[in-house]
């Protein structure tokens, strides 16, 4: 008889209540569950015998389990089941092996792997603890120890114990060959260097990086990823983790950070061309460099590789918004939220796009949706999930305040912007909007004070300060307007428009010499600034420097020959010089070109009414 028949007869003899047909059925089920190409009838009947509590004996009359044969068969069966995703069945096989050989570290490791796949992480941790206890204590520095510690770290990380996980990973990284002499230089120790290139060592670095990401230790995560990539340049998971870490770093206007992300994305794509998130990272790096149109190609590639990648749709939406394609941006953001309703940042970006489309009530609702984004920081489905823009986020309050401002609800917006500034004192954007809201409410001095607190911030641009100044001018508060323009040119002395606006306010206050100096500075910055030449002429007229005023207007007409206002102002200057024929020609020219209300007012002005004409010169 063959081996199979011997074992079948032994089972039937031990369990007489079982018929041969029942036994054959049980064996068939085992083979079918694993696959005939993976499990033989002989292996299957061994597993059935174990299930039935029958101890098979070899030819010498010894228990077959005594030589580890059944243990290896159970483990092999479990491994095959794991590969097929049948983790419950695999765990049962490993459990049988553990009963037969409770001190087998490899069996405990396999049990931990199956338990982790089933989401039973506390039991997985216990299995890896048993694995570690089963290893020989005389070899604390060994790859098997590293494997056990990595398993423990993975279980701890899944339980949310990231700090403990890092300790486990660091213990794994310390499991280098015990033969390494203490007086050897690590770089010269061949055994040490070989160990550091073992797959388990690379895996430990990668896993440690993920744990550091969850603790927001971005630089530590980057260092671990780069260490793993240095030892195995083709290790795609390490490239993916590096991308996650770099994506989490604020790029802003830092060209080096963007270049770093771009280089990492290129390496990640080289290691795995089908890595969708690497294309997203490459697109983000390109966006950070200001090339949003080029970034769209990367996002489209990511979506083609993974149509269900919510992050790719989100990034595509933000790029489209930067290109002022708000309708397309809204569609992309809607798709991202359809795929992942709690995607951090997507609802907030959708709110901004809705505001840009004039749908401010919808924008407010989208802000409320941002509150539903997932809390915490963790790596999930191949990407880093960061804190959402919620009640403790200044970005959330800024977006909400902008929507309220657009609806004319400035009192409510003020409270929201004040909350944003309180949450982040260094948030220049929040303080800028707070200042502009104060100005809209007539609190100009408070607005200027907020701008002064922004000294050195890139958000304190002249346009925002001019907005405050215009609010002051509209109420006739020229002193405060002058203070705003003072601040405007102080923040950016290379902006000709800021100096022109400053000069106009000085002129309105009767500070003609100072106004002339401001106009001169604007023209110095932009010699072809026609409106500055024209307005400079009005100050020169006020100073009774008529010939200089005519020269300024000649230059303005040369730069803007079709501007009716420039011709009308020139007619006034010619008349003031007694050149009446030339003045009449200039008036006719002003009427030929496209007329404006300002030019009509100036054409009809009396020649001796210098102040009135000077005031009209300031109209834009």
Residue-wise pLDDT tens digits, 141-169: 567 888 888 999 999 988 889 899 999 98
CA angle, 211 then 216 then 217, to 5°: 75
User: Which DSSP string corresponds to 587-604?
Assistant: HHHHHHSPP-HHHHHHHT
Band (320; pLDDT cuts 50, 70, 90): very high
Residue 252 lies in a domain: no
User: In the prediction, which pLDDT does 325 show?
Assistant: 92
Residue 1 in domain: yes
Range of the domain at 14: 1-134
Q: What is the pTM of this model?
A: 0.48
**Boundary (domain end) residue, out of 84, 108, 134:** 134
Q: Of 134, 152, 177, which residue sits at a domain end?
A: 134
Domain stops at, among 94, 114, 134: 134
pLDDT for 243 equals 75
In this structure, is residue 575 part of a structural domain? Answer: yes
Indicate which CATH number applies to the domain containing 617.
1.25.40.10
83-106 pLDDT, tens digit each: 888 888 888 888 888 888 888 888
Written as six digits, the tokens of 613 are 């004409």
The pLDDT value recorded for residue 335 is 93
Structure confidence at residue 512 (pLDDT): 87
Point out the least confidently predicted range of 381-385, 436-440, 502-506: 381-385
Q: Is 384 helix (H, G, I), strand (E, B) or coil?
A: strand
Q: For residue 45, with 0-12 CB atoms within 10 Å meaning exposed, 13-18 middle and 19 or more buried, which class applies?
A: buried
C-alpha distances (whole Å) from 604 to each of 378, 505, 549, 573, 617 are 72, 25, 19, 14, 14
Instruction: Say if 334 falls within a structural domain.
Output: no
Quick check: is 122 in a domain?
Answer: yes
pLDDT band at 600 (very low <50, low <70, confident <90, very high): very low
* 287: in domain: no
449 lies in some domain: no
Is 464 a domain residue? no
Torsion, CA 125, CA 127, CA 132, CA 133, rounded to 10: 120
- For residues 336 and 310, the answer to whether their CB atoms sit within 8 Å is yes
Give the count of domains, the chain.
2
**For residues 218 and 94, what is the distance between their CA atoms, to the nearest angstrom?**
38
């Amino acid at each position: 008889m063959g081996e199979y028949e011997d074992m079948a007869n032994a089972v039937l003899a031990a369990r007489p209540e079982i018929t041969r047909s029942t036994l054959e059925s049980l064996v068939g089920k085992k083979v079918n569950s694993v696959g005939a190409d993976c499990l033989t009838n002989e292996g299957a009947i061994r597993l059935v015998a174990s299930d039935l509590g029958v101890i098979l004996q070899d030819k010498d009359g010894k228990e077959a389990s005594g030589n580890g044969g059944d243990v290896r068969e159970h483990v092999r069966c479990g491994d095959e089941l794991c590969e097929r995703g049948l983790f419950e069945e695999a765990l049962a096989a490993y459990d049988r092996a553990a009963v037969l050989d409770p001190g087998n570290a490899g069996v405990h490791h396999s049990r931990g792997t199956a338990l982790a796949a089933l989401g039973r992480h506390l039991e997985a941790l216990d299995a890896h603890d048993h694995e570690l206890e089963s290893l020989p204590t005389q070899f604390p520095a060994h790859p098997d120890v590293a494997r056990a510690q990595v398993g423990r770290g993975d279980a701890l990380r899944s339980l949310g114990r990231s700090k403990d996980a890092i300790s486990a990973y660091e213990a794994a990284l310390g499991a280098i060959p015990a033969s390494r002499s203490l007086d050897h230089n690590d770089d010269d120790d061949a055994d040490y260097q070989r160990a550091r290139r073992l797959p388990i060592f690379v895996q430990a670095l990668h896993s440690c990086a993920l744990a550091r990401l969850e603790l927001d230790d971005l630089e530590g995560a980057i260092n671990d990823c780069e260490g793993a990539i240095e030892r195995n340049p083709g290790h795609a998971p390490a490239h993916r983790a590096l991308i996650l870490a770099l994506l989490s770093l604020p790029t802003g206007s830092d060209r080096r950070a963007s270049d770093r992300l771009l280089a990492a994305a290129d390496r990640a794509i080289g290691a795995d061309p089908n890595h969708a998130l690497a294309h997203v990272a490459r697109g983000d790096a390109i966006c950070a460099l200001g090339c949003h149109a080029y970034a769209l190609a990367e996002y489209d590639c990511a979506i083609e590789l993974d149509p269900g990648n919510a992050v790719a749709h989100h990034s595509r939406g933000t790029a489209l918004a930067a290109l002022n394609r708000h309708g397309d941006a809204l569609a992309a953001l809607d798709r991202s939220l359809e795929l992942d309703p709690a995607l951090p940042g997507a609802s907030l970006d959708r709110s901004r796009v809705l505001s840009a489309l004039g749908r401010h009530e919808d924008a407010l609702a989208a802000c409320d949706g941002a509150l539903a984004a997932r809390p915490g920081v963790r790596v999930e489905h191949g990407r880093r999930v960061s804190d959402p823009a919620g009640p403790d986020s200044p970005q959330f309050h800024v977006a909400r305040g902008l929507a309220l401002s657009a609806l004319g609800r400035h009192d409510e917006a003020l409270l929201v912007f004040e909350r944003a500034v309180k949450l982040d004192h260094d948030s220049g954007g929040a303080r800028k909007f707070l200042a502009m809201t104060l100005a809209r409410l007539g609190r100009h001095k408070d607005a200027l004070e907020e701008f002064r607190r922004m000294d050195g911030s890139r958000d304190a641009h002249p346009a925002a300060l001019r907005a405050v100044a215009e609010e002051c001018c509209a109420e006739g508060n020229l002193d405060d307007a002058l203070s705003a323009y003072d601040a405007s040119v102080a923040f950016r002395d290379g902006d000709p428009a800021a100096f022109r606006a400053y000069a106009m306010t000085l002129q309105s206050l009767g500070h003609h010499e100072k106004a002339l100096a401001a106009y001169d500075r604007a023209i110095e910055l932009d010699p072809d600034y026609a409106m500055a030449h024209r307005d400079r002429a009005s100050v020169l007229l006020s100073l009774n420097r008529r010939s200089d005023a005519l020269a300024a207007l000649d230059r303005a007409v040369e730069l803007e020959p079709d501007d009716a206002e420039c011709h009308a102002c020139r007619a006034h200057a010619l008349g003031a010089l007694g050149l009446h024929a030339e003045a009449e020609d200039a008036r006719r020219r002003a009427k030929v070109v496209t007329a404006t209300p300002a030019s009509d007012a100036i054409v009809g002005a009396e020649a001796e009414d210098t102040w009135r004409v000077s005031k009209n010169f300031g109209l834009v």
